[in-house]
Amino acid sequence: MSVRAFVNRLVLGALGSTALIAASVPASAQGVVNVYTNREPGLYSSTLDEFTKATGIKVNAIFSEQGLSERIKAEGENSPADVLITVDIGRLQEALDLGITQPLKSQALEAAIPAQLRDPEGRWFALSMRARSVYASKDRVKDTAITYEDLADPKWKGKLCTRSFQHQYNIALTAAMILKHGEAKTEEWLKGIKANLAKKPSGGDRDVAKDIMAGVCDIGLGNTYYVGLMTNGTNLDQKKWAEAIHVILPTFQNGGTHVNVSGAALMKHAPNKANAVKLMEYMTSPEAQHVFADVNYEYPVRAGVAINPLIKSFGDLKADPMTISAIGKARAKASELVDKVGVDR
């Protein structure tokens, strides 16, 4: 049975057994681990289910798209949260800034996750990667290679689409550009991006593919995993959007491809710390990493784990060596520059 079939069979049962944290579950309960997450539980519910089977530790999960770090901060010492699982370096940095994490020293995590994909002080660890790629029209764009710097080239004037540049994905890319070239050159790059836009930034990454198919633009920014979700999803329109584009893995000049991460952090007042560490270590095991890669079309952080064939077809990912933590720290300045240039206006 394929991993995807395995997940489809387990997901409903796993969601049923992965209960929401409630007052009836005491913070000091034995044999449990409490997870706060803004990732859809269906993306890794089978992983949690297998963790419970392997360890006997029950996973209680609460899902919310927004506000989890603030909630944990407000709960203070009484918070039942053991682990925060979230997407984007921005949200991981937010957890650090709010002071809700604690450092963790784990040989298993350090062996599985490259140093650039974890906090230097062990306060968060990446679980998966996604690349910020270029979607390009199959009919109108013959380029097979491009740099992020090229996106500001006047050759693309009126041909570029993107979601808001204040969105976390583009803020992280802009922060990475600051680390590569400094603030002044990044500001000029943003001006070039704005000048090349075919329309005001809007929608999401899937809408970029939609606009390319409609002829609104020829190229755009989008995360790699959305192509997998569109291609193999049930929405027939989105399948057509995906069919209209080819994916280019851009690089920085003299650098690699910009990646962002999903990650996990141990909470400051974790009542079940030992179980939390076991869960975090399990989620970087080869088995769990394979599920991440196959179900959500992401890149595993652990070396030697197979990549989904569709994602692999985009070419070999050569991630830029800059540390994700440095990108997190540069986000505030990136947001200021995006606002200063008025990319979204």
Convert the pLDDT of each residue in 165-212 to its tens digit: 999 999 999 999 999 999 999 999 999 999 999 999 999 999 999 999
Least confident of 28-37, 50-59, 92-101, 333-342: 28-37
pTM: 0.88
Torsional sign, CA 102, 107, 109, 111: positive
pLDDT for res 41 = 64
Please say whether the beta carbons of 156 and 218 come within 8 A.
yes
Please, are residues 152 and 193 in contact by the beta-carbon 8 Å criterion?
A: yes
Residue predicted with more confidence, 44 or 271: 271
Least trusted range by pLDDT, from 26-30, 299-303, 328-332? 26-30
Dist. CA 209–CA 222, nearest whole Å? 8
A 10 A CB-CB count for 226 gives: 24
Average pLDDT over residues 49-73: 91
Quote the CA–CA distance of 125 and 89 in Å, as a whole number: 10
Residue 222, CA distances (Å) to 111, 242, 332 in order: 30, 11, 22
Q: pLDDT-based confidence at 90, cuts 50/70/90?
A: very high
User: DSSP assignment of 241-275, as one string?
Assistant: HHHTEEEE--B-TTS-B-EEEEEEEEBTT-TTHHH
Segment among 38-52, 119-133, 134-148, 296-310 with least mean pLDDT: 38-52
Q: Which CATH class is domain 130-258+317-341?
A: alpha beta
Kindly indicate whether the domain formed by 3-129+260-306 is annotated with CATH number 3.40.50.300. no
Domain with CATH 3.40.190.10 in the chain: 3-129+260-306, 130-258+317-341
pLDDT digits (tens, 9 = 90+) for 129-178: 999 999 999 999 999 999 999 999 999 999 999 999 999 999 999 999 99
Taking residues 303-324, report their average pLDDT.
Answer: 96
